[in-house]
């Protein structure tokens, strides 16, 4: 059987017509970010982009409007090493964290001396030098204000070839830190490695007697059965829907909310939805 020439020609003409409209829209320059997104979404609907590519483009556009304060790891979660510590004092902390870079500080976290790279530390250990000073191997720390635009910071990460920056508030104190991975996750979604907290394919994972890691996609019925709870599924199908209603906004990492006596803390959320939460029972 041969293809219908008229049908094939019609399909090509339709594709050409749609592309002409896109090119015309771009030649006239979209009037706003929403106009641009509409064009890109039209491309996805017409199968010129897949949904993953659309999500990445949306993430890249969102990053251009973000500031460092919005995606930084907060001060309370920074794993820092004191400059006067000896290897036997800081090695357990480094091994437990699984990170590759650590702020090195003096008397307080606001007294930043530099950045310790795990590979530099490993080299010293392999050379058999166990009596060294951290001041001899740390690298300069990069400091940025909370208002730093994330897209600008990403460009600086790439051009200057560094991967971490400490974020300061208006008074010069350390308010958090941000890594190149944090920015990339805003664009492409969560980047997991072997040191990240492992979550199985199951919706709910018990991690201690009182703590559980729960996927936002957990059906409310499954949650109710597991915890013998009575959360309503009248308006939402998943835990994520209930939490979004409870927060009243798209929450960031470590924000907490209480629903029917259950305390939830956000472990991971991007600029579109909640993905993972921790439930702590009293």
Fold category of 204-280 in CATH: 3.30.465
Q: Yes or no: say if 123 and 89 are a contact pair by the CB < 8 Å rule.
A: no
Q: Tokens for 195, please give them.
A: 């040191």
What's the pLDDT at 194? 45
What's the pLDDT at 54? 73
CA distance 249 to 272: 11
CA distance 94 to 87: 10
∠ CA 226-232-235, rounded to 5°: 130
Per-residue pLDDT of the chain (282 residues; tens, 9 = 90+): 445 555 455 455 545 555 565 555 555 566 676 777 777 777 777 777 777 777 777 777 778 888 998 888 888 888 899 998 888 788 877 877 778 899 999 999 999 999 999 888 888 877 776 677 888 889 999 999 999 999 999 999 999 988 999 999 988 999 999 999 888 888 876 655 544 444 445 789 887 788 888 989 999 999 999 999 999 988 888 999 999 999 998 888 888 999 999 999 988 877 678 888 989 887
CA distances 103 to 82, 92, 279, Å, are 9, 16, 30
Give 263's strand partners.
Answer: 258, 280
Fold category of 69-188 in CATH: CBS-domain (3.10.580)
> Phi/psi of residue 112, each to 5°?
-80, 125
133: DSSP letter: -
Q: Per the confidence metrics, is the pTM higher than 0.75?
A: no
Strands 81-82 and 143-145 turn out to be unpaired
What's the pLDDT at 24? 54
What's the pLDDT at 153? 94
């Amino acid at each position: 059987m041969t293809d219908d020439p008229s049908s094939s020609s019609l399909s090509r003409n339709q594709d050409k017509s749609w592309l002409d409209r896109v090119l015309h829209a771009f030649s006239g320059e979209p009037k706003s970010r929403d106009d641009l997104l509409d064009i890109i979404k039209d491309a996805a609907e017409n199968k010129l982009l897949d949904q993953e590519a659309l999500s990445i483009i949306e993430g890249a556009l969102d990053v251009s409007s973000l500031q460092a304060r919005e995606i930084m790891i907060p001060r309370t979660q920074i794993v820092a090493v004191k400059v006067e510590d000896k290897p036997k004092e800081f090695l357990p902390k480094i091994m437990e964290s699984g990170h590759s870079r650590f702020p090195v500080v003096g008397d307080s976290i606001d007294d930043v001396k530099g950045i310790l790279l795990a590979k530099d530390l490993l080299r010293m250990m392999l050379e058999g030098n166990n009596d060294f000073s951290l001041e001899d191997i740390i690298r300069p720390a990069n400091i940025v204000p909370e208002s730093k635009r994330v897209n600008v910071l990403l460009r600086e990460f790439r051009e200057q070839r560094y991967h971490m920056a400490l974020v300061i508030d208006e008074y010069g104190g350390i308010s958090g830190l941000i890594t190149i991975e944090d920015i990339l996750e805003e664009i492409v979604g969560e980047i997991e490695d072997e040191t990240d907290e492992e979550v199985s394919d199951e919706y709910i994972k018990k991690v201690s007697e009182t703590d559980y890691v729960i996927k936002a996609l957990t059906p409310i019925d499954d949650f109710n059965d597991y915890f013998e709870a009575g959360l309503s599924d009248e308006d939402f199908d998943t835990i994520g829907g209930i939490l979004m209603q409870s927060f009243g906004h798209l929450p960031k990492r470590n924000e907490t909310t209480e629903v029917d006596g259950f305390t939830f803390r956000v472990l991971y959320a991007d600029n579109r939805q909640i993905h993972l939460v921790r439930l702590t029972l009293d």
